[in-house]
């Protein structure tokens, strides 16, 4: 591996199956709309496993999900992201010898991801079994400028021979999704969810229309080739596959390039996906590939300018952080029809479902760096609000909206309700993301148009699911973030979320009333002032569990009554525990899969004293396995708050390197997008101590001993601010916008141009 600020590359060859599947993920191409795993164009040796997938964000089919007991309201179908087509397959033959890294001799190889220019590629110097040497350079791009476009630039150079070359390029509509019956995080059965129904050739481009089996959706994929020299060209059209062949003579030292344009269009976004695909193909061909590359670089130049973050003194970690930030822009949906899947668009883990991960781990990154994208994420939740209302009714609630634990188009996709549907905190998470967006932008118009309705409907839900008891508002039979502790009374995190949600429902009502923007929301929702007063009352007397003996917040009412898990005698190979122990066994013990109460102490730090937060951190650290990728970044942030910088750094390193170094051994199924967002938060919210509060922007900077310094930019209201942290000083610079008042370790400062504060 070579370390460079914006380039990740490997220069050796490892043809082990697990390594190849890992690289399919690490070098995948995506732009928020389409994602293509980085498989060898020519394929692998027979018998090898592969996830040869191409995906559209938000495109799905309905899949049956059988329940052993057909009880009322249990989910019996789900949405699943589909592998829609294979347009990456290209076969090279030199005098009838097929190029393959499994045959002949590989003299030189390089595989790279260029995050400055937004391309991936392979460079191979290969000697065929008969001794012919050829240099192959392949570049792939999913365009941020034209989201429908995926390109492959396939160049071959004859090093020591003259001969005949044949390039066979495939457009395959007959595809299936990947499955692994041994891992609950991926589908347990492989089914054909999409059927090719029409194939056509228009102006030398092939188009395949495919329909889903159940959801009634259609997708059109288009492929067009351009070869850099005259050749014998042939196209064979079948109903599910198009094969394009190009035969030509190549001379010694001559280079020939095939450019393959692939277009993707779906019926969710376009009434006639074929007509749209044809229009998008025309648009793509109006520019040269060089021009497309230039647009890609321009887009990323702006992205890296807005998301600027650098670490001095640790190049390897810097690369991992940059890689994670790049994957976030690759993964995030760019319209209101999509969100961010748990694996982005890099694989089929969790079937392409959207979770609370978006609001609590990923959206904070975009809120501070690309607020326009944060708005789109909130708009997605707004477009699915009616489905959330339906979900609430299904679960017996008379009022309000309950967002699903996992979904694509808005309906619940969790088949195991104790650790899924019962995780009501999803409502509080979505409310929190809207509130923090407002605190960062003060965009009251957006709240009036989109956010307020969500805030009020989620507040209504808390009033229905909870109840007043002995002067306290309590919430029973829910599941918090920790999936090893389910169906409990008064989960601390959930109750804190509900309190914050209810409190801000009142605040937004007042803010919108003052700005004369409340009337259309009130009319649409039939919202009454009596409800607002009830929200205020429930928030004011919310029950937050506290143990006087341990001086901690118990995770829930019964957590401390349970036996502590026997960590000392649990073999390392038994982790993650969910793959080796029955859920009931886990539920009866004090063992946490991930941060739960500790997460609440980060998000709602003002709810408890520093002493309580410290005691809770120390307690839960001993019983948390971090089997979830959502965990170590949160422990890092809270460790930073407590001044445990060395411990915070260790947790941060585990988080940052999770995918690039495959520390959880499951990156082959796709990246861990939430962890990548959490990794950013561990720096900005953790080491720098950034908080968005009602009275303004707060910082409490720390510098890990391993670093010489770090710097980042944040958007706050109408301004962009550069923050630089060194051993003895912090520098704040106003890059654009108006001056700002902010706080550093609770001391107030005014920034007009540049400000230096001694550490």
Active site residues: 483
Pairing of strands 709-716, 696-699: unpaired
Pairing of strands 466-469, 472-475: antiparallel
Element of type H or E holding 532 = helix 529-540
Rounded to whole angstroms, the Cα distance separating 702 from 685 reads 11
Rounded to whole angstroms, the Cα distance separating 163 from 251 reads 7
Element of type H or E holding 100 = none
Cα→Cα distances 600→158, 592, 710, 738, Å: 61, 14, 27, 33
Name the one residue in this structure whose structure tokens are 């969910």: 578
Rounded to whole angstroms, the Cα distance separating 220 from 142 reads 17
Dihedral of alpha carbons 206, 26, 48, 57, sign: negative
Closest CA to 481 of 492, 468, 470, 471: 492
Rounded to whole angstroms, the Cα distance separating 202 from 219 reads 17
List all residues 6 or more positions away from 288 whose beta carbon is below 8 Å from its beta carbon: none
Rounded to whole angstroms, the Cα distance separating 246 from 167 reads 5
Rounded to whole angstroms, the Cα distance separating 49 from 645 reads 43
Cα→Cα distances 405→324, 354, 355, 408, 460, Å: 24, 8, 6, 10, 18
Omega of the bond leading into 668 within 30 degrees of 0 (cis)? no
Give CA angle at 394 (390, 398), nearest 5°. Answer: 80
Closest CA to 719 of 750, 676, 681: 750
DSSP 3-state of 702: coil
Closest CA to 601 of 557, 636, 577, 573: 636
Task: Return the HEC string of 380-447.
Answer: HHHHCHHHHHHHHHHCCCCCCCCCCCCECCCCCCCCCHHHCCCCCHHHHHHHHHHHHHHHHHCCHHHH
Q: What does residue 519 show for φ and ψ, rounded to 5 degrees?
A: -60, -45
Q: Centre a 10 Å sphere on the Cβ of residue 451 and count the other Cβ atoms it contains.
A: 29
Rounded to whole angstroms, the Cα distance separating 505 from 453 reads 10
Rounded to whole angstroms, the Cα distance separating 359 from 431 reads 9
Rounded to whole angstroms, the Cα distance separating 419 from 583 reads 10
Cα→Cα distances 383→71, 443, 517, Å: 29, 19, 20
Cα→Cα distances 692→52, 229, 306, 381, 436, Å: 42, 58, 18, 22, 7
Q: What does residue 391 show for φ and ψ, rounded to 5 degrees?
A: -65, -40
List all residues 6 or more positions away from 72 whose beta carbon is below 8 Å from its beta carbon: none
Greatest Cα pair distance in the chain? 89
Cα→Cα distances 437→270, 364, 379, 694, Å: 30, 8, 12, 12
Rounded to whole angstroms, the Cα distance separating 368 from 714 reads 5
């Amino acid at each position: 591996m070579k370390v460079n600020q914006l380039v990740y590359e490997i220069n050796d060859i490892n043809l082990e199956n697990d390594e190849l599947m890992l690289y399919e993920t690490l070098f995948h191409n995506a732009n928020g709309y389409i994602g293509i795993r980085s498989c060898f164009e020519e394929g692998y040796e027979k018998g090898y496993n592969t996830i040869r997938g191409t995906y559209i964000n938000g495109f799905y089919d309905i899949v049956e999900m059988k329940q052993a007991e057909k009880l009322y309201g249990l989910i019996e179908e789900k949405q699943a992201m589909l592998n829609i087509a294979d347009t990456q397959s290209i076969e090279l033959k030199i005098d009838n010898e097929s190029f393959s890294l499994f045959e002949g001799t590989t003299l030189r190889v390089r595989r790279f991801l260029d995050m400055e220019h937004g391309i991936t590629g392979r460079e191979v110097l290969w000697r065929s079994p008969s001794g012919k040497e050829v240099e192959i350079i392949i570049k792939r791009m999913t365009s941020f400028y034209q989201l429908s476009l995926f390109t492959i630039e396939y160049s071959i150079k004859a090093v020591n021979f003259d001969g005949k070359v044949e390039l066979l390029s495939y457009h395959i509509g007959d595809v299936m999704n990947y499955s692994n019956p041994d891992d609950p995080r991926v589908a347990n059965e492989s089914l054909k969810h999409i059927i090719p129904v029409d194939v056509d050739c228009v102006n030398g481009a092939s188009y395949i229309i495919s329909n889903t089996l159940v959801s009634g959706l259609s997708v059109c994929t288009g492929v067009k080739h351009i070869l850099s020299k005259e050749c014998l060209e042939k196209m064979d059209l079948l109903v599910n596959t198009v094969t394009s062949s190009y035969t030509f003579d190549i001379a010694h030292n001559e280079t020939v390039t095939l450019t393959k344009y692939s277009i993707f269009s779906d019926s969710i976004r376009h009434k006639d996906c074929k007509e749209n695909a044809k229009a998008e193909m025309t648009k793509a061909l109006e520019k040269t590939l060089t021009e497309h590359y230039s647009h890609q670089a321009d887009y990323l130049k702006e992205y890296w300018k807005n998301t600027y973050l650098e670490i001095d003194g640790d190049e390897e970690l810097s690369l991992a952080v940059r890689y994670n930030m790049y994957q976030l822009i690759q993964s995030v949906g760019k319209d209101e029809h999509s969100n961010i899947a748990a694996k982005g668009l890099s694989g089929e883990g969790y079937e392409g479902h959207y979770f609370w991960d978006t609001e609590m781990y990923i959206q904070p990154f975009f809120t501070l760096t690309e607020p326009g994208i944060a708005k789109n994420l909130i708009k997605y939740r707004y477009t699915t609000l009616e489905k959330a209302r339906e979900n609430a009714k299904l679960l017996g609630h008379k009022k309000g909206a309950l967002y699903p634990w996992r979904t694509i188009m808005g309906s619940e996709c969790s088949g195991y309700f104790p650790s899924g549907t019962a995780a009501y905190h999803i409502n509080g998470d979505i409310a929190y993301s809207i509130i923090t967006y407002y605190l960062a932008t003060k965009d009251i118009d957006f709240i009036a148009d989109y956010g307020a309705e969500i805030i009020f409907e989620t507040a209504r839900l808390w009033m229905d699911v909870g109840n007043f008891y002995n002067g306290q508002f309590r919430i029973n039979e829910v599941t918090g973030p920790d999936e090893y502790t389910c169906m409990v009374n008064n989960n601390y995190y959930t109750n804190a979320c509900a309190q914050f949600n209810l409190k801000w429902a009142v605040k937004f009502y007042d803010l919108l009333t003052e700005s004369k923007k409340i009337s259309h929301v009130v009319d649409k929702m039939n919202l009454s002032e009596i409800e607002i007063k009830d929200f205020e009352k429930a928030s004011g007397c919310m029950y937050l569990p506290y143990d006087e003996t341990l001086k901690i917040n118990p995770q829930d009412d019964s957590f401390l009554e349970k036996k502590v898990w026997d960590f000392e005698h649990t073999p390392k190979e038994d982790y993650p525990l969910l793959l080796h122990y029955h859920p009931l066994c886990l539920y009866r013990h004090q063992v946490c899969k991930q941060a739960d109460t500790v997460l609440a102490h980060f998000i709602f730090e003002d709810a408890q004293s520093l002493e309580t937060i410290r005691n809770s951190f120390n307690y839960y650290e001993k019983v948390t396995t971090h089997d979830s990728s959502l965990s170590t970044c949160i422990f890092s942030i809270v460790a930073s708050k407590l001044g445990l910088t060395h411990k915070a750094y260790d947790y941060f390193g585990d988080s940052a390197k999770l995918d690039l170094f495959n520390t959880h051994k499951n990156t082959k199924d796709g990246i861990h997008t939430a962890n990548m967002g959490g990794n950013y938060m561990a720096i900005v919210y953790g080491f720098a101590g950034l908080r968005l509060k009602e009275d303004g922007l707060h910082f409490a900077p720390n510098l890990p001993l391993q670093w010489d310094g770090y710097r980042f930019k944040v958007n706050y209201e109408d301004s962009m601010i550069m923050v630089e942290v060194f051993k003895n000083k912090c520098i704040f610079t106003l890059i654009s916008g108006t001056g700002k008042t902010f706080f550093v370790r609770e001391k107030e400062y005014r920034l007009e141009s540049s400000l230096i504060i001694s550490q």
